[in-house]
Structure 1
């Protein structure tokens, strides 16, 4: 009985010892495992702060680069606008200078011509220049058969009415060639050409028109100078009557007036290389006459002749 009682007590003591040993072991284990977690937390927090600082630095660099890029682009744009503004100003000043020069010289120009060249220059009411080309003989024949006087009638209207009508043409790229000889023969038959010192070409029409006005003012002292295309049939009486109504007015520019958008896009038909002279993108050309027929007065023709 005693042995059994002692054995039971031993078992109880052994259980308590095991419990205490297990508690002590678990406490130490938990304590040891907690310390690395805390250290890991601090390490993670430190790395997060470092990454945030690095991210802030990268963001600052990106913003700085973007800001510099915008500044450079803005500076280029401002420089471009300044250049365009300067070019517009120079163009305006050139026009004003030309106008002033023309105004100052106009009376002197015409008084000198009247005094020195009266015997050479013919005083007429209007010079009508019909713009034509080497390949347009059928058109010229059509004009002669309809509204343009020919032969003695051409001389008569010039002498009695002061109306000069001429086909306007330059010369070919090879002077004296077949094309020029054909015009010479046609002129010897009809005597109705005004020849220009100009090489014919589709892309030189503006230059040809300018030279026509300059040449006409050097040959005739007219009140009006008219430009007509050779595919236009003119009511000559109506034209003369209309011009007569404006004879007493200065700086006359009369025709079928129009306007239209300035085409600034490259590659499109009728692209305007100097579109910026007409204002900002989307603006229209100033009002001007269509090229088929228009007339300018003596003072405007003088302006062209003086400033060519």
Structure 2
């Protein structure tokens, strides 16, 4: 096409007619092939989309995940076919090739990889009133053991409640693998393990609950929190507005109102991403991250939305969840017996006994002590900064002898319980007959 003439710049030479004809013919054939391929692809996408919409209607909790395997698996929530095969034979309820993104591990470039894998979907199995996801980490085995001793081992009640610790796949060490084999109460999410990735684990709690359990309510909490599970289940049943507790639109915890958005690079709670996205200097009202409840219908809405259009992630987990929920028509309950703030929990400052060098034993502050065995007990006590304190709190609650009746409405809930006792009895009879 180009000829070099001595003493002159490059100049275009005369085109070869035979060469042009061949290239024109090749271009036409190529365009026809590409056009045909695109038409076939569009037709396939249209058919796949129709099938996918039908499947979404049939399975509202459509999420990418796997069930617990027959053999102990180092990754319960595998995000690739290869990982799943390493886990042994999975007892999946259903396998499909849907187009939804995996909630767990969809960060940055991982989106394309997850879309390329076959989505494995399992229908919920065990029916429980409350599922509890407990965020933990690689170096906190001592915390997990204290939580098991204090309350989590009593949480595993068939048909009532279930608890699971949530770690990242990259946090699995030989000791963690040994712990998983022994207790079978750890599930894994693929993703980073920094403070700012806590939101990924929290979203996974919702995803795991609506995938593997027919749960009415889902609690996200941390491994330094004591949860009074029997009282929690009792109060949640009192709060139900529908007979089967399936349409509750509930978001409950200790509420932070108009929290200030911190814009200080390097600060633990810096959230420039939220400010840049919203232009707001204060957060929407949200429940503190030490423990908050959402009903299953709210959880399914969030998980499905994340799968379809992607939720906006910001570094502050609990404030972001409140931001996600601010546009929903839901009940937000600021519960005074959920101590989930970010300051240390509930013990008096140790004092030295007169004339002695040793400090006295643990002493709860007056408010905690007054309500620990009352008709209106604490549901969560957060920021227990030692396994010893966790076990101490567990022993104190276990020693409470007077258990409240399931029909007694605690004072802290009275304004939120819409139904009368008479209507509640009618609904209970209808539920039993059904």
TM-score by length of 1: 0.54
How far has the Cα of 1:217 moved from its partner? 1.3
For 1:153-192, list aligned pairs within 5 A.
Answer: 155=156, 157=157, 159=158, 161-172=159-170, 179-192=172-185
2:225 is equivalent to residue 232 of structure 1: yes
Please tell me whether the aligned partners of residues 225 and 295 of structure 1 are also in contact (alpha carbons under 8 angstroms): yes
Please tell me whether the aligned partners of residues 224 and 295 of structure 1 are also in contact (alpha carbons under 8 angstroms): yes
Residue in structure 2 matched with residue 304 of structure 1 by the alignment? 302
For 1:92-171, list aligned pairs within 5 A.
Answer: 108-110=58-60, 121-149=125-153, 155=156, 157=157, 159=158, 161-171=159-169
Residue in structure 1 matched with residue 262 of structure 2 by the alignment? 263
Residue in structure 1 matched with residue 271 of structure 2 by the alignment? 272
Separation in structure 2 between the aligned mates of residue 119 and residue 257 of structure 1, nearest angstrom: 33
- Matched position secondary structure for 1:226: strand
2:289 is equivalent to residue 291 of structure 1: yes
TM-score by length of 2: 0.40
Residue of 217, 235, 239 corresponding to 1:242: 235
1:73-128 deviation per Cα after TM superposition (whole angstroms, max 9, x unaligned): xxxxxxxxxxxxxxxxxxxxxxxxxxxxxxx9986434999x97997622221110
Separation in structure 1 between the aligned mates of residue 255 and residue 302 of structure 2, nearest angstrom: 20
Separation in structure 2 between the aligned mates of residue 277 and residue 211 of structure 1, nearest angstrom: 23
1:181-203 deviation per Cα after TM superposition (whole angstroms, max 9, x unaligned): 32121021122112223343322
How far has the Cα of 1:265 moved from its partner? 4.9
- Structure with a larger share of its residues in helix: 1
Larger Rg: 1 or 2? 1
Q: 1:184 to 1:289 in 2, by over 3 A?
A: same
Separation in structure 1 between the aligned mates of residue 191 and residue 155 of structure 2, nearest angstrom: 25
Q: 1:277 to 1:203 in 2, by over 3 A?
A: closer
How many correspondences in the alignment?
A: 191
The runs of 5 or more residues in structure 2 that have no matched partner are: 1-53, 64-92, 95-120, 242-246, 307-434
Higher relative contact order by CA 8 Å / sep ≥ 6: 1 or 2? 1
Give me the CA root mean square deviation. Answer: 3.0
The runs of 5 or more residues in structure 1 that have no matched partner are: 1-103, 174-178
Residue in structure 2 matched with residue 34 of structure 1 by the alignment? none
2:215 is equivalent to residue 203 of structure 1: no
- Matched position secondary structure for 1:185: helix
